Structure formats: C-alpha cells, structure tokens
C-alpha cells in the first residue's frame, strides 16, 4: 500500500471520528436527522442483527426523516472508546458490553458477577430491564454520566474455550492463561477458578489466541463463530459463568434536543428490535455450537454436580464487590431469580 493511500485512509478515518464534535441536534439542508451508531460486534452476530433491525425500523417509521448509520466491528473504536465519544458528545450512539460499562460506573459490574442470573429466569430479567426496577435504576445512573439507555440487547451467557488444553470440570481450568476484559469482576472470576487473567481488547483477542499469548477466553459460542475464533478453538465447556448484555446508549444532551415524535420513534423501534433480537439469540447459539461440533471442537456439557462446583468456587467473588455495588442491586437480582 502506498504512503499516499495510507495517508488518505487515515484522514478519512479522522474525518468520520471528528466530524461530530459538539454535535447538538444538526440537520442538513435536506432536513434529515442522522444518527451514527457504533458497536464492536461482528457481522451476523445477534447484537449486530438487532441494531440492523433497529436502523430499519427507525427509518421506516420516520419515513426516512431519521437515518441511522451503523458502524460495526470496532470501526469507530472499541466499546470503551466509542462510549466515551458518546459521553462527551462527539458521537450520537454507541453500544458497549456490560463488562466494559464498568469503566463508566462500577454499578454495572452487578451483571458480571458469576451465576447471579440464571437462564431459567430470563423473561423476568427482560421485564425488569425493559420496564421495571432495573430499567429505572440504570436510566438514572446513565443520566448522571450524560448517557441514556436505548436498549439492553441480549448478548448471552459466556462459556470458556481453549486453543489446546481440554477443559471440563473446574480443576481443568487451573493455570490456564485466559483473556478477559478490563472488568475487575472477570479478573477475579478467573483467579477464583485458578486461571491467570490477561486483559486484552476484543479486537486483539483472535491474534492473542492464535499466537499463544493466552490459552483461552470466555464468550458466547455465537460470537466466537461470527468473529472467526472457531478457527483457533479446540475445546469448550458450557460454563455459562456470567450473563452479558450490550447496552445501546445515546448522548443525553442530543436526546433531549430531539423532537418528541422522534424520541417516540426511537423508543418504539428499540422495543420492536429488541423483541426480534432476543428471539433469534437462542437459535444462533445452538447453530454455533453445532458448527463447533462439526469442526471437531469438543464441547463438554457440565453435569449438575460439575456446575455446582463452578458456582461454589466463584461465589466468594460476590463478596469482593459488595463495597462497590449497592445492596439494592443485589436485592433486585435476587428478586428476579425467584
């Protein structure tokens, strides 16, 4: 690649990133409101498909008067970088995994805690996040940091995978170098299971796995397939050790300047897109697991006794964060599990 071409690409990227500085509510001469939505997920992923549906619905319901430009695969930066841009007002919308939202408030770590939620209570989780106590709580929290939640997208339950060492029971994880996010909870969970946690940005994880910088990672099977990590994975276990979401946020000041009818279109579109996105997640996860097996990746299914051992080993992690996560959040999650 020539130096001129490299320079041109760099300038183009800078224009995209910087053109929205001090955004406010701006319309071009055509009267169209344009909203840029940045997220880190790969094409075909359940989160990506949800945001594509959201774009489709907003543009249809507004008769094209509101346009959503979706930038996936970390095109505008990682979860944290893109969300920081939204927070300061140089980008309208961004999506971050719940673990990475801990960079903005430790209260988001409640969702990272191992086994604090269970898939058998999933509908109760949705209801509380969409219209219940959890929604009210995180609306107020986000507003205090100049953000507003738009939708809590289903990400799924993370499972451990490795590039070489067979894994099944808790003891098989010992001494493995595992990729984690910067989430303090993820780091402590890895330690509780006897692993060596190594924080690595998502965009660098494939290379780290391929080159042996780490032995494994924890993620949903569907995302691992979408991001091509199945090319280097050899073993997996359905640990389901924590539940994650992707939280779509909009700059609060930008939101407040939007006409009420546009706010309503965004809210209704988000609700419908979320219903669609959650409805396809389980099937995509099963499809990904089937792909694992077809490629010769061994997937160990935990017995109830083995799963209980995972829960027992990681439960002390909760106590490490009780001084940073309010008791009322623990209580909300406890109520949901009943």
DSSP annotation of 27: B
Q: Which CATH number describes the domain made up of 159-242+286-336?
A: 3.40.190.170
Confidence of residue 37 (pLDDT cuts 50, 70, 90): very high
End-to-end CA distance of the chain: 59
- Judge whether residue 94 has pLDDT over 60: yes
pLDDT of residue 10: 41
Going by C-beta distance under 8 Å and a sequence separation of 6 or more, which residues neighbour residue 293?
A: 299
Q: Is 147 helix (H, G, I), strand (E, B) or coil?
A: strand
Q: How confident is the prediction for the chain on average, in pLDDT?
A: 91
The neighbour count for residue 276, using CB atoms within 10 Å, is: 16
Closest CA to 17 of 88, 121, 102: 88
- Judge whether residue 179 has pLDDT over 70: yes
**Percent of the chain with pLDDT strictly greater than 70:** 91
Q: Of 3-12, 18-27, 31-40, where does mean pLDDT reach its minimum? A: 3-12
CA of residue 160 relative to chain centroid, distance: 16
Confidence of residue 28 (pLDDT cuts 50, 70, 90): low
Do 217 and 178 contact (CB within 8 A), yes or no? yes
Q: What is the domain partition of the chain in residue ranges?
A: 3-104+119-150+246-283, 159-242+286-336
Q: Of 91-95, 99-103, 285-289, where does mean pLDDT reach its minimum? A: 99-103
- Residue pLDDT, tens place only, 247-257: 999 999 999 99
CA angle 313, 333, 222 (to 5 degrees): 70
CA angle 328, 333, 338 (to 5 degrees): 125
pLDDT of residue 284: 95
pLDDT of residue 23: 52
Beta bridge partners of 221: none
Show the beta-strand stretches assigned E in the chain: 33-38, 66-71, 93-97, 147-157, 159-162, 177-180, 196-199, 216-219, 235-237, 243-251, 298-300
Of residues 53 and 22, the one with the higher pLDDT is 53
pLDDT of residue 203: 85
Confidence of residue 16 (pLDDT cuts 50, 70, 90): very low
What mean pLDDT is predicted for residues 232-253?
Answer: 96
10 token code pair: 């760099």
Do 149 and 247 contact (CB within 8 A), yes or no? yes
Confidence of residue 25 (pLDDT cuts 50, 70, 90): low
pLDDT of residue 26: 62
Q: How far apart are CA 77 and CA 94, in angstroms?
A: 10
pLDDT of residue 338: 82
* Topology match between the domains 3-104+119-150+246-283 and 159-242+286-336: yes
Going by C-beta distance under 8 Å and a sequence separation of 6 or more, which residues neighbour residue 93?
A: 35, 36, 37, 38, 68, 86, 150, 248, 249, 250, 251
CA gyration radius for the chain? 20
- Judge whether residue 190 has pLDDT over 70: yes
Residue holding tokens 């003891």? 171
pLDDT of residue 2: 39
Do 83 and 48 contact (CB within 8 A), yes or no? no
The neighbour count for residue 183, using CB atoms within 10 Å, is: 25
Confidence of residue 9 (pLDDT cuts 50, 70, 90): very low
Residue holding tokens 């996105």? 277
- Judged on CB neighbours under 10 Å (0-12, 13-18, 19+), 7 is exposed
Q: How far apart are CA 177 and CA 186, in angstroms?
A: 13
Beta bridge partners of 69: 36
- Residue pLDDT, tens place only, 191-233: 999 999 999 988 899 999 999 999 999 999 999 999 999 999 9
- Judge whether residue 22 has pLDDT over 70: no
- Judge whether residue 20 has pLDDT over 80: no
Residues in the chain, overall count: 338
Q: Which CATH number describes the domain made up of 3-104+119-150+246-283?
A: 3.40.190.170
Q: How far apart are CA 88 and CA 213, in angstroms?
A: 34
Confidence of residue 11 (pLDDT cuts 50, 70, 90): very low
- Judge whether residue 15 has pLDDT over 50: no
């Amino acid at each position: 690649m020539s130096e001129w071409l490299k320079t041109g690409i760099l300038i183009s990227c800078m224009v995209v990133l910087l053109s929205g500085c001090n955004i406010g509510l701006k319309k071009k001469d055509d009267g169209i409101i344009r909203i840029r939505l940045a997220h880190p997920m790969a094409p075909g992923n359940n989160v990506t498909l949800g945001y594509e549906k959201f774009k489709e619905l907003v543009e249809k319901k507004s008769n094209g008067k509101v346009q959503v430009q979706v930038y996936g695969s970390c095109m505008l930066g990682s979860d944290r970088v893109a969300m920081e841009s939204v927070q300061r007002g140089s980008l309208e919308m961004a999506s971050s995994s719940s673990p990475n939202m801990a960079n903005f408030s430790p209260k988001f770590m409640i969702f990272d805690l191992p086994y604090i939620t269970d898939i058998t209570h999933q509908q109760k989780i949705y209801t509380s996040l969409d219209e219940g106590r959890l929604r009210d709580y995180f609306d107020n929290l986000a507003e205090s940091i100049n953000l507003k939640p738009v939708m809590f997208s289903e990400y799924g339950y993370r499972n451990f995978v490795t590039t070489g060492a067979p894994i099944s029971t808790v003891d098989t994880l010992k001494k493995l170098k595992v990729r984690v996010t910067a989430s303090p909870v993820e780091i402590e969970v890895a330690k509780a299971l006897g692993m060596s946690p190594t924080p690595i940005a998502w965009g660098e994880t494939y290379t780290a796995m391929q080159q042996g910088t780490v032995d494994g990672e924890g993620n949903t099977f569907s995302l691992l397939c979408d991001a091509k990590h199945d090319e280097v994975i050899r073993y997996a276990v359905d640990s389901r050790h924590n539940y994650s979401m992707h939280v779509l946020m909009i700059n609060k000041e930008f939101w407040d300047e939007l006409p009420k009818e546009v706010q309503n279109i965004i809210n209704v579109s988000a609700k419908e897109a979320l219903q669609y996105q959650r409805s396809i997640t389980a099937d995509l996860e099963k499809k990904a697991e089937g792909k694992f097996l077809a490629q010769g990746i061994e997937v160990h299914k935990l017995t109830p006794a083995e799963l209980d051992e995972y829960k027992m080993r990681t439960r002390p992690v909760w106590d490490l964060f009780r001084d940073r996560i309010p008791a009322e959040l623990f209580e909300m999650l406890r109520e949901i599990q009943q």
